[in-house]
Amino acid sequence: MTRFFFDLHSDSLSAWDDEGRECSDADEILRHALRMLDDLPEAPTHGSSPAVVSVHDVSGQVVLTATLKPNSEPNLRWTKEGPSEGVSTVPLPPKSSAL
């Protein structure tokens, strides 16, 4: 498994992940990022900044950006390459897909 880091940014919150999390595939990365957005104490409201989870690997390459805007579903952007070699055992979702 490969370690990924999940940084969270919202209006009044910036949480930098210094420990990371072992993920076996793209699906596990996606589930954890969406769980983080779902666990926010307050969902983004009209006029507020979107909440963003930026996921990067140990080399610092961003593999996923999940953005939650007010009154909408999360927007997902996978990098062209997706997670590092040896991690993606399931197909990556299409780029910029919404759940």
Q: Which of 8-17, 33-42, 76-85 has the lowest mean pLDDT?
A: 76-85
pTM of the model: 0.77
Decide: residue 29, CB within 10 A, 0-12 exposed, 13-18 middle, 19+ buried: buried
By percentage, how much of the chain surpasses pLDDT 70? 78
- Residue 98 has a pLDDT of 43
Query: Domain segments of the chain: what residues?
Result: 2-78
Residue 89 has pLDDT above 60, yes or no: no
Structure tokens at 65: 């950006």
CA distances from 67 to 1, 16, 27, 87 (A): 25, 16, 17, 23
Residue 85 has pLDDT above 70, yes or no: no
